[in-house]
Chains A and B, each alone.
Chain A
Amino acid sequence: MLHRIFHIARRDLTLEFRERYSFLSAILYLIAITFIVYKVFGRIEPPTRIGLFWILILFTCINVVSYSFSFHGQKRKYYHYILYRSYELIIAKWLINLVKMLIAGFLLVLLQSIFADEPMKDIALFSKVYLLSIFGMTAAMTLISSISSYSQNQNTLIAIMSIPLLIPILLVGMRLSLISERIIVDTEIDNYLMMLVGIDIVYIAILIIFIPLTWKA
């Protein structure tokens, strides 16, 4: 099973590399917004920087993940349905989205560090939080994009359905990253991390359980 998942992931990565404009446009969007914001405001205080980071990650996530089903024609869907088990396909897609979001997050941290001229204060905690957050975010977004790929106005629907679902992750992630920037002091870091892990597990479990049901068209 793992072998098959990696096989699908590798094939999809190749396809993505051929049609790389979608991911690169999302990255360009990220860089452009960061550049504009830093040029307009000059110096940005750490809380604003954290807020900006998470908002940009949210919209990049929506951009990146909504592409994962959009150029799948009806015929390719039937082909996949015959060839693979649905959960293998979806885990492969999820892994690819995860890799993309990792790249985007790394780039954004790098950009913000360069523009703000100061590095993150607790990079270990921050990367832990970021990793845990995108696990849940990409899982929820992959399910939503798979659901909304049946509809006509796909992109609007993805934004409407996913933002409420991502808010709990964003709230916990924002609080933890404020702690990592030493802006607020909290002794319950482990508690919040466990909360993130719990949300991740629930969303990933939902993804794997429900995908076969949405796939049956």
Chain B
Amino acid sequence: MDIKKNWWKVLSVILMLYVLIAGILIPISPGLLDFDNSNAITGQKYNVKVKAYNTHFDQAKNLNAYLLLPSDQMLPADHIDLINAVELSASFSIPQDIIPDSVDRLDCSIVIDNEIDGYVQYPDAVTIKDTGSVSQLLEYKALVPISSLQGVDDFNFPFRPIVYETVRNTFFHVAIWMAMFLILLVSCYHSIRYLMSTDLLHDQKSSALTSVALVFGIAGLITGSMWARFTWGTWWTNDVKLNMTSIALLIYCSYWILRSSLTDIDTRARLSSVFNLFSFIALMILVMVIPRMTDSLHPGNGGNPAFGDEDLDNTLRTIFYPAIIAYTLLGLWIAQLSVRYYRAKDNIELMIYNNSK
């Protein structure tokens, strides 16, 4: 094989392997899953049992638990009882003067810090109230500044509540949709080229690309359905984006019905090119415009942010963008093979026809 000419095929395979290996093997950052007590009272002891994910509490030498106050000061725990690598219980003594006069309660985050995992936190977990009663005499620890946390610099995917490990589906679900759009764009380019030149090769290319995009669309729908099962709890919801994409896929199915119902090659090529452009514009309206105007569970719709730092941090980006390129190149490769197959078939039929004469 000529590597210089087919460099993009090699690139697609390398990127695909990179996405599969790195996307599956890189661990998720540690995080806090759950805790059992969210009410603390000033002047009393506060005990909490914390469940974490992906942490190494048992191997850590320097393990600390804190309550992070809104003033960016932290209250250290009195003592910590280690249960296992991901569970511990901590007890705090809440000072009586911890609540400023201006407010009547404080919302604090639980922060657990060690030198292996860095710090993990559960935001706004605990509410501190002042009931005015002092049950026992306690020794209060002094507050420490937030800068005393041990930051660890390692390459992990972000820990997101609800999503957890399925954040890896970004490289499959989202990237496949993006690749589908790019492939449909190339298909539209070939449709326009056909309408300008009436060269049947462009029509074959455009129809092959559309069929690859349809397969990608179905794959995107299936991976999205799996993701919805884990995060939203059902295989299919009445979300506007789901409905609109299934309608868009129906439009592309009707493209195939149109192609198969026309027998004359030139008429078929011309009409299906027009319908391809038409359905791409309809797809844009359905998937890009309408979901943004109504409420949707998807990021980027109904006021949710998408592709901001909240959704996609830099570790995800290093896999996500190569994934889009890999799927697009793979799709172009499949389409090229399909075009070659149909051209070869046409040539053979022509040969048989000529021999029989």
Contacts and interface: CB of A to CB of B under 8 A. Distances in A.
A147 interface: yes
Interface string A128-167: 0000000000000001000110111100010011011101
Contacts of B263: 152
Interface stretch (B5-13, B127-135, B279-287): B279-287
Given A161-B257, A195-B290, A150 B267 contact: yes
Contacts of B293: 188, 191-192, 195
B334 interface: no
A119 interface: no
A113 interface: no
A213 interface: yes
A179 interface: no
Interface residues on chain B, size class = 20 to 34
A143 B254 CA distance: 14
B271 A214 contact: yes
Contacts of A152: 261, 263
Contacts of B261: 151-153, 157
B250 to A, nearest CB: 4
A71 B275 CA distance: 23
A148 B277 CA distance: 16
Given A191-B293, A217-B267, A210 B257 contact: no
B247 A213 contact: no
Contacts of A195: 289-290, 293
B298 interface: no
Interface string A164-175: 110110011000
Nearest to A165: B282
B271 A160 contact: no
Nearest to B246: A164
A77 B278 CA distance: 23
B262 A151 contact: yes
A199 interface: yes
A21 to B, nearest CB: 27
Given A143-B278, A167-B247, A202-B285, A150 B271 contact: yes
A151 B285 contact: no
A134 to B, nearest CB: 18
Interface in A179-217: 188, 191-192, 195, 198-199, 202, 206, 210, 213-214, 216-217
Contacts of B250: 163-164
B80 interface: no
Given A168-B286, A195-B290, A151 B258 contact: yes
B63 interface: no
A70 B228 CA distance: 45
B51 interface: no
A143 B278 CA distance: 10
Contact of A199 (B251, B277, B279, B285): B285
Nearest to A199: B285
A143 B334 CA distance: 32
A168 B246 CA distance: 12
A179 to B, nearest CB: 13
B274 A210 contact: yes
A173 to B, nearest CB: 13
A161 B254 contact: yes
B275 A161 contact: yes
A171 B257 CA distance: 25
Contacts of A199: 285
Nearest to B244: A168
B105 interface: no
A77 to B, nearest CB: 12
Contacts of B262: 150-151
Contacts of A213: 195, 270, 273-274
Contacts of A160: 254, 257
A147 B275 CA distance: 8
Contacts of A163: 250
A157 B270 contact: no
B270 A214 contact: yes
A210 B285 contact: no
Nearest to B266: A217
Interface string A67-91: 0000000000000000000000000
A147 B258 contact: yes
A188 B195 CA distance: 41
B287 to A, nearest CB: 10
Contacts of B286: 168
The 9 closest A-B pairs by CB, nearest first: A164-B250, A164-B251, A161-B254, A151-B261, A210-B274, A160-B254, A164-B247, A147-B271, A167-B247
19 contacts: A143-B278, A147-B271, A150-B262, A152-B261, A153-B261, A161-B258, A164-B247, A164-B248, A164-B254, A164-B282, A165-B251, A165-B282, A171-B290, A202-B281, A206-B277, A206-B281, A210-B278, A213-B273, A213-B274
Given A150-B264, A160-B257, 7 more contacts: A161-B251, A161-B257, A164-B248, A165-B278, A165-B282, A202-B281, A216-B270
